[in-house]
Each structure stands twice: as C-alpha cells, then as structure tokens.
Amino acid sequence: MIPGNRMLMVILLCQVLLGESNHASLIPEEGKKKAPGLQSRTAGQSHELLRDFEATLLHMFGLQRRPRPSRLATVPRYLLDLYRLQSGEAEEAGAHDTTFEYPERSASRANTVRGFHHEEHMEPVHPGEPQMKNGEAIPLRFLFNLSNIPEDELLSSAELRLFRQQIDEAITESEGDKDGLHRINVYEVLKPPRAGQLITRLLDTRLVRHNASRWESFDVSPAVLRWTQERLPNHGLAVEVQHLNKTPRHQGRHVRISRSLHQEPGEDWEQLRPLLVTFGHDGKGHPLTRRAKRSPKQRGRKRNRNCRRHALYVDFSDVGWNDWIVAPPGYQAYYCHGECPFPLADHLNSTNHAIVQTLVNSVNTNIPKACCVPTELSAISMLYLDEHDKVVLKNYQEMVVEGCGCR
C-alpha cells in the first residue's frame, strides 16, 4: 500500500476507534455502526490499537513520539508566512505581504524547513550590553541548538534572520552618505570565548541605513554545514554592528539588534528574536514548490456509480492533533470509489491490463473486476511543532487524490 493511502487509512481507523459522535467529517454515523468487529472491542483494546496506529502515523511523519508543545512554544511569523505563500493560501486570502521575499533558491532544493530560536539561557549577557571596547561595540554571541536535526536530513543552506530597529532620533545634521550607514557583520565563533574575546570567521556582511526597522537575512550555510555534516563543535554565531562614521557624536548611535534585555515597551519579543532557518532534504519526495491554491474540481452526477473521486476531509482535531499541527487545520484528501463496468470507457482512465481483466471477468466471474484506485496523488505542506518545540515546515508526498481510474 502506498504511503499516502496508509496515512489516510490510519486516520480513518483512529476516528472509528475513538467513536466520537460530534464529528462527522471523516466517517458518517451509519458507517461507524456498520464497521465489523469494532463494537465487540473493549475500551482498553480500542485505545491500545489507536496508540499503535498513532505510532505508525508518527513514524511516517518522521517523529519519534507525539509532540506535546509547551505553553512557551512560539511559531515564528516567517515560517507561517512561508507556509501560506508556499501552499497558495496567501494568494487565496489576498493577504500576501509584498515585503516578504520567498527564498526561491533555498526552498527549491529542500522539502523540510526548520526554525531555531537562540538559546538565550546559555548566553552570558549583561544588562549593560552592548559593551564597548576601544570605542567599538563587542559582538553579541548567539547559540543555536541544532542537535535534533535528523541524521538522514541533508542540509543545503541556512540563514540567520535578525530584526534591526532604526535609531529613535534620526541624525538630522548629515555630513555625507556615511552618516546613516551601518555595517552588520555575522561571524562563526570558532573557539569557546575567553575573557570576553571571540575567535571568529566572517560569514556574511551587509550595509544598512538607520532610518528603517526591518528583518535582515544573512547566509550562515558554511558554519551550519560544518556543525551538522562535519560534526565540528558549535560555538555559536556572533553579530557585530558598526557605524561607518566613527566621529564622537555618532558613538553608540547604531541600529539595534533585537534582544530580550533591550526590549521596548509593547515590543513582541517572541516574534522579533533572532531566528536560524535551515533548509534540508531527507531524500523522500519532491522539494517545496510554490503552488496556487487547489480549486475544487467539478463533481460528477450523483447518480453516476462509475469510478470517480469523492470528497474526504481530514480534520486533525478529530484525532486530537490540532495542538501541535499549526497548519493546515485539515485538508481535502479525497478517495476513489465506484464501479469499473464492462466495457471500460476511456474516461475511467484504465490500463490495458485492467481492460483485459474486465473482459475476462465478463465471461468468468471467478476473475475479479478491475478496482477503482487513485491514479494520481499530490503532496501537501504541513507546519507543525516537533517533539522539541521546534517549528518544522515539511512537504509530505501522496497525500491528496488528484485522479481515479480502474486498475
């Protein structure tokens, strides 16, 4: 059985075993009553079987156990926007943010995107930051725990996203172009810091102006690939902000990288904190691609009993998974059902073997008819929190029936 059909079967059986009467999105009530052998099961047997099915489905998702997000878990707005744009929901709702830049190159080589907030509790910070040394700000060090990335997931790229805030009082006495320019440098920390000194390697740099608050993205792929593929020690990243005009009146007047110790009143720190985003592929299925929202196909006549596609909406709340699956809340999976009559018509999308089998069945009923099965399946994207409260955007293959036929 193909993985997509296995997943649908597991969800359907979970719904039957739960026997919930307040949801009818998966199986109608009469369907539950006619399910053979289920009524005689004890509650303990049903829940034990349910746990087995749940474990099977979690394994298909690549999870070791059912995620149970903490109250502190936060879904970065960047990954939510990426999901909406990649799945086509943004265009459908007309809510596409024109400032959002879709990472076309990175996403085209990945079927999994992961987001990591920095481990602030492991970073030695002080209320007086940024500290100054010889008139210049000491780079800020950020630590990211990437240990939960699966070994079979090959990373292709990684970016560090930093939210920079403009100078509250813009410099009005401009002496030249350098007055409003700052340079942001991002380094890999090569050795454990000693006495406030960092041994670093430059990864990326950017010139920015002080008159705007916005996200900046920096390529940190070389460092992340060394940590994950070459298994070199991860001592974190360092961020340095420099004002190009080093006259005394400009000292300390630089764009600010968002950090919890420097929160402004009303600032949404959880959404503005530094974010490391990795793009990888586990070798299963196709990479992420931007696609338009699926439009419902015209349904055939209700009296038509021939093989065709039928609606089947899978609601993740039916199996109690809406607490860790962020999006979508459910999806239209569809299923195939109907007769494959003799002679098989062209619109039934049959193979030569199915035509021959149906022909033989017409003269020998011991040979079964061809079956109505999915002939075309497509993927869906899911945004969810994993067992470690990390946010994952992943492409899952063969989840939606696009076409049916007699085979």
pLDDT digits (tens, 9 = 90+) for 352-371: 788 888 788 788 888 888 88
Residue 344 in any domain: the answer is: yes
Stretch 315-328: mean pLDDT: 86
Percent of the chain exceeding pLDDT 70 equals 68
In a domain, 137, yes or no: yes
**CB neighbour class for 120 (10 Å; exposed up to 12, middle 13-18, buried from 19):** middle
Within this chain, do residues 232 and 357 fall inside the same structural domain, yes or no?
no
Mean pLDDT of 266-273: 72
15-52 confidence digits (pLDDT tens): 444 444 333 343 333 333 333 444 455 666 667 776 77
Within-domain flag for 225: yes
**Do residue 312 and residue 277 come from a single domain?**
no
**Domain for residue 346, yes or no?**
yes
Residues 245 and 394 in one domain: no
Out of 171-175, 288-292, 384-388, least confident range: 171-175
Question: What is this structure's pTM?
Answer: 0.77
Tell me which residue range forms the domain holding 402.
Answer: 308-406
Whether 303 maps to a domain, the answer reads no
Q: Is residue 221, in this structure, part of any structural domain at all?
A: yes
